[in-house]
Amino acid sequence: MRNRIMRMYRVLFCIMPLFAFCLCGCSGQTEQVPDKQEEIVTDENTSEIIEEIRGRGYLLAGCKTDVPDLSFYDAQTDTWSGLEVELAYQTAAKLFEVSVDEAKKQELVHFTGVTVADREEKLEQKEVDCLFATYTITKERKQKFAFSDSYYTDYIGLLVKTSGTDANALGTSDIRSIADLDGKKLVWQKMRRHGKHF
C-alpha cells in the first residue's frame, strides 16, 4: 500500500509541465496529442491518474497566493496570475488536449492556495493533483516525490540595515561580505532551506 501511495505521489508531480511538456519519470506507452509535437509518456499508474483528472473535468493545482509574477491570487478581482499559474494552464491544456486559451476559457484548472508549511500535506491528502509552488528539488524530496525539470532558478537575497555613510558596505560599516555575518543574528522565512547555508 505504501509503495502504491509513493508511486501515486511521484505520478502527481510527473504531470507538472516541463518545457518539453512531457511527463517525467515514467515509461511505457506514448500518447500523441493531435496537432502537437509534444507527447505525454504514460504507464499504467499515470494513465489511471490522468483519466481520473480528465473524468473530473479539471486539474486541481496547488499554487502560492503571495508571490507576484510567480503565483499570486488577487482576492479583490478573484484572479490568479504568474508563471506558475500559466504552467498550470499549460498542463491542463496538455491533459485535456486543448489550447491554453481554451483551458482558461473552460476553467480546466481549479486553484488551491498553498503555503510552504502546508503544500506537501495538501498533495498527500489529494486536495491538489500537483504543485506549482516554487518547490526546491532536493535529494530528500526526490525520494518522496517526482519532479519535473526545474523551470525557475532563484537566488538568496540579503538585506542589512543601511549605514548611510559607506556606499560600498552591505549595510553597516562592519558588514562588507558574507563572511562578516559570522556571529550575527540572521532571520529567514520559516521552513525555507536557506538557513543551512549560514
CA distance 2 to 61: 24
The pLDDT of residue 64: 96
Contact (CB, 8 A) for 132 and 71? yes
Q: What is the DSSP string of 102-165?
A: HHHHTT-EEEEE--TTTHHHHHHTTS-SEEES-----HHHHHH---PPP-------------SS
C-alpha cell at 153: 532558478
Instruction: Look at residue 171 and tell me if it is in a domain.
Output: no
- Give the chain's domain count: 1
Reported as a single tens digit per residue, the pLDDT across 127-173 is 999 999 988 888 888 888 878 888 888 777 777 766 666 666 556 66
Instruction: Look at residue 177 and tell me if it is in a domain.
Output: no
Instruction: Look at residue 95 and tell me if it is in a domain.
Output: yes
Instruction: Look at residue 194 and tell me if it is in a domain.
Output: no
CATH number at residue 114: 3.40.190.10
Instruction: Look at residue 21 and tell me if it is in a domain.
Output: no
Q: Which domain holds residue 91?
A: 46-154
Reported as a single tens digit per residue, the pLDDT across 50-99 is 999 999 999 999 999 999 999 999 999 999 999 999 999 999 999 999 99
Instruction: Look at residue 34 and tell me if it is in a domain.
Output: no
Q: What is the largest CA-CA distance in the chain?
A: 65
Instruction: Look at residue 31 and tell me if it is in a domain.
Output: no
Q: What is the DSSP letter of 58?
A: S
Instruction: Look at residue 3 and tell me if it is in a domain.
Output: no
Compute φ and ψ for 31, nearest 5 degrees: -110, 120
